[in-house]
Amino acid sequence: MKKHLSIALLVGFGFGQVISVVNQSSETIITANSQSHLDYGLSYPVTYEFSISDSDEELNVYRKNEKNQDWTVMNEKNSTDFFNGIEVVRFDNNEDKAYISVGFSIISDSIFIKIARN
């Protein structure tokens, strides 16, 4: 029997008028207000917490900045790795969570994220 992959974003709201997060099909789209993006850059990675099921399955996290770009697989770190200020994903299989750290690019006000099995 094939297991069903279930992903739920715990941050399903906008942060003031600066950032909004929306789930659309199998993607999550994080969008920054254009003026705030220009004013502040927003390039330093922020960590978003996702709830996942079947975390024992081999999962990859993909990201891109524009709808027409190809997906890029994100590097994965584990809980014993020290990292700060880089774009990575860390899975917590005990809590069924994925912690995804991403920053905005200068080319777009959006970040597209997709979690999928290998």
Domain coordinates of the chain in residue numbers? 7-117
Q: Tell whether domain 7-117 is in CATH 2.60.40.
A: yes
One digit per residue, pLDDT tens: the chain, 118 residues?
333 344 444 434 445 678 888 888 889 999 998 888 888 888 999 999 998 876 557 899 999 999 999 999 999 998 788 888 899 999 988 888 999 999 999 999 999 999 998 7
How far is Cα of residue 113 from the mean position of the Cα atoms in its chain? 5
pTM given for the model: 0.81
Contacts of 107 (CB under 8 A, 6+ apart): 65, 66
